[in-house]
Structure 1
């Protein structure tokens, strides 16, 4: 019971923008057995009350065995409900509350971070809520009320600092989430950043800002996946990244360098394209002159932007970082091309570097541009953003070439990778192989793991590596001059996205298994809060650890789970009771079944009331019966299929048997008449 995020309580005055459909003064509990009392010992978590919380009682051992999740540091809770029930609203309110806390602490110099967080307190953006949590038998409240920010130990009512708070990592791959064009620009500051885990929340994966707000760069995610896997595996060499595949070594392969086109205004042939690797390797340093323009593509369209002064830019860049005199042999052109390509890409893509691009002129075909070298280098040095990671890796590759990389062949053992870890406390990712290499994770049998798995397995690895990577890094933060969080809250929002039901069923087990194999000496508590629509995930969590939400009359309210428990429950029961479904079948399928049942009821009742109506339904039923038979044969559930077959047989008895008797009687009458005529005509022999 080391650490738990217990509840969130919206307060009066919270703007509708952040409140959404949450109810003011409702305590939304993630652990149902936690009880909240006022100063006069009145229970207030089971009602809407504006009384302040003065006491919390919680003992999970009343309903859970000791060490239930097989890891004394781990607690797991969940939120479940229909779309619109308030799940996302709770998480967004939690995020903006942490933003307020961090922004205030930065302003008061209690938090050392270069991030420029926005403290929200203007009309329409007021944040009012309380967050309750438990660490080592002590209860705490984060109170955010307009301009007030208080972090309090509940019993003593004393203010505390961030060392008694917790770090939160939030993971959400939904394309609709965390879009700054909807939530506000404040949220852009909370995505992955290099601040040594000081601001106590990070949103993953990284999303773009500005005109691209909310967009996930999946290519960058693939790159980070490789980087994070290396980082994790170096520290946990025998970690299995899939159920059956363990990394034995890493294979490095140099990528082709970037294609480029040059513009030489002093040549008759102004435009020259370098599309082949051979041409680039032989000619790059010959054409790299300040008066020659470059664009890093061979596909030209419309007015083309060419960058000049690139030789000076490369020289000054390498001198500033003391790598100018380091030679990488015959492959150096690849790294130098990448440096120039990446500098231009950063300046074109990111607003904060946009002013580094200076226009020198243009005509009907071309724009003539240069990079303000000093401005770029100054911004680079003052910036710890993730956008500079790849350039930092190239710089460190140069610096560590003789010590580490010169004699490395394509096969790189995990033990050799440990040599990359810098002696000083720097970002480990900055020292990994740069993006001029393809990185492959190989088994002993030389199977490329990431190429041999499905997209669902890859998503599982994305998720688990992101979780573990941040936890491991928080564990390794040096407490000297930095806040070291010893408790970590991980929020997994819609975690089942892209997962086959079998992966959903195994997710919590996989998470717990991987945590058992990771060294976390400095982490005292891990709380996982899972927001899900998956009954398979819920069947691994007791109902006492689940907040069930339902929207009634536009207001989000906690609801009791109607069945015995979710843990090890049949998924159909969870779907009915936990997700408040009216049916566990698809609405289209249900409509087809109901259409047949309505026909059966209408037909049987009308014929029962008036037998003469049989004629009316005969032809219609004759045409519909084949479709009814096919529909019934498609139904997967035996019980429903049997019931419908019985209904069909009943219709047969009502309509087809009546038809057979009537037709038989007519045929008999007809034959008798023919026989009579034959006798009369003397034709009585056969």
Structure 2
């Protein structure tokens, strides 16, 4: 499914109703009058099927100067409420029309009504951290990824980046060969204030909440951290990890009350075990027994609830034939709950076991409460990848429990640049989304990626690679979703290098008018930029971004104009001097009024230029790199100072002749 066009009746950006085409197989004209809309369809002769690959249906751009409303249009496309819009979609066979207004529609083409079966989901992304952008409903938007603090955002960002690089970094490195990977990591167990566990009304009022509250107090007393403000004492890495994980598991120690709940294992039984591995295994027994006592007893008798028997336990649960139990409970859901619980505890065991076994051999314990992993010092090449994979498994297993806290705070030794951070934040946010587990947002067959200036912070070389990279990497990310969805991309940009990869019909050009409204240029409309795909960058800057007063920076233009004014000032001085020295009557030589104009202009230039002089002009001339402008300025200088030009030419000739006999030349300065 692909969005081809949309029409909007009223919006503060426009002084009339407007419509947009995105360069698909068809373009549309929307004619509105008296609450009636006529839609005409035309084939797009420049459209190329699968131009961006099989999984990406299309890539389109929205460009314009600052304040033109690109983000506001993104908000419309993000299906924000209170917009009367009409959208047209194409699935490769049929057109679909979605009317989110009261407007009467007539068309000359056949279409089907858009419904939830056709629905595709918009995902808005901006790298900017902005409070106003939090109102965009999107699970990948950077502003929406800030939870409680900048510190949490930092560590969560690093975690997303590390997981992404560990699993998909090879695809990124094909395009961005010099992208640094995290090789040396310092890892500490996250610290959480106890009040975040105990402060909710659930633990104060609900019966099960009070029980969990008591279990947490038992746990913290067992690990001698009862008097600490945080859930662990930040003493030793291993013990910090143990109490943190057990605290998370206790907070999730809830279950649906049925006639089959078992209570044969107590939390005190868990704490009585000496080794953490045994505590974890006994806690698993308790959880399975609580979910369904009868099935737990069967598993214990027939298989044995031990981590070495995980596969057999899951197979036994799935083969259990009971589908419903007394009270009308769906036993299928209970079995699913048990399988997820076994997988969660098993992944924790694997991570802990890996850390414990490698503590002396591989981990670098410089401080008792942290570990450092160094790729260069590891005994196996894939050690870091293994650790990150195990941690990612645990992190994803903890999704949707009562508290989704990050277990580790990871600090890389390498400090990335703004551009590197921007690149990794973009791809890791999407990777984190597709890996988030079962959720209704991850079940769509089509996604519309709305990227708001995504290449912000990139070096020019990376901007040239951006479109190519998303066509290669995004399909590798969305393949994580079992339905293998298609992707459509609409992005806004200020960058000509990025725009040079987009066909012109795929670009929406916006220009802000003098009355502060916005003009949307239609295909073939006069004034619309004509070149983009493979076009010269200078032409793109001048045309596509409506840059006024040329392409020289304002600062440089001011400096160059100042130098040119100085030449004009000298020429004007010479002209006035010649007039004064003439023996003819002033009226015969120049009209007095014109003469006074020249005098006033001369005085104004004198005040403006101050002590600017010949050497200043030559310094400016020497740093001007545009060849035509430089030649013109050189010519102006030589016309004003012909003797200086002659002297300079003689010096250059002497230097040239001396170089032929391998001699250096030094010119002595004349005494004044």
* TM > 0.5: yes
Equivalent residues of 2:87, 2:98 under 8 A apart: yes
Go from structure 1 to structure 2 and tell me whether the alpha carbon gap of 1:218 and 1:557 turns closer, same or farther (over 3 Å shift): farther
Where does residue 535 of structure 1 map in the other structure? 496
Q: Does 1:600 align with 2:567?
A: yes
After TM superposition, give the deviation of residue 81 of structure 1 in Å: 0.5
Equivalent residues of 2:59, 2:489 under 8 A apart: yes
Q: Does 1:630 align with 2:619?
A: yes
- Number of aligned residues: 485
Where does residue 240 of structure 2 map in the other structure? none
2:17 to 19, 25, 49: 25
Say which structure is richer in helix.
Answer: 2
CA distance in 1, matches of 2:138, 2:535: 37
1:509 to 450, 460, 468: 468
Equivalent residues of 1:540, 1:567 under 8 A apart: yes
Q: Does 1:591 align with 2:546?
A: no
Q: Does 1:93 align with 2:86?
A: no
Equivalent residues of 1:170, 1:490 under 8 A apart: yes
1:234-313 matches, within 5 Å, as: 240=173, 243-244=176-177, 254-255=187-188, 258=191, 285=222, 287-289=224-226, 292=227, 294=229
Equivalent residues of 1:9, 1:27 under 8 A apart: yes
Q: Does 1:458 align with 2:401?
A: no
CA distance in 1, matches of 2:12, 2:38: 23
Where does residue 6 of structure 2 map in the other structure? 8
Query: What is the alpha-carbon root mean square deviation over aligned residues?
Result: 5.4
Q: Deviations over 1:162-195 (max 9, x none)?
A: 2202111111022346345xxxxxx37x242xxx
CA distance in 2, matches of 1:55, 1:531: 27
2:92 to 131, 136, 141: 136
CA distance in 2, matches of 1:584, 1:242: 30
Q: Which runs of 5+ in 1 are unaligned?
A: 13-18, 38-42, 101-125, 181-186, 193-201, 263-282, 300-309, 334-392, 441-447, 658-686
Where does residue 42 of structure 2 map in the other structure? 57
1:188-587 matches, within 5 Å, as: 190-192=137-139, 203-208=141-146, 217-229=153-165, 232-233=167-168, 240=173, 243-244=176-177, 254-255=187-188, 258=191, 285=222, 287-289=224-226, 292=227, 294=229, 317=251, 319-320=253-254, 324=267, 325=270, 329=275, 398=345, 400-402=347-349, 405-407=352-354, 411=383, 413=385, 417=389, 435-437=406-408, 451=414, 454-470=417-433, 472=434, 484-515=443-474, 517=476, 520=479, 522-523=483-484, 525-552=486-513, 553-559=515-521, 564-582=530-548, 583-587=550-554
TM-score (ref. length: structure 1): 0.57
CA distance in 2, matches of 1:464, 1:156: 39
Q: Which runs of 5+ in 2 are unaligned?
A: 196-219, 235-243, 256-264, 280-339, 359-382, 582-598, 647-672
Equivalent position SS for 1:24: coil
Equivalent residues of 1:150, 1:159 under 8 A apart: no
Go from structure 1 to structure 2 and tell me whether the alpha carbon gap of 1:406 and 1:250 turns closer, same or farther (over 3 Å shift): farther
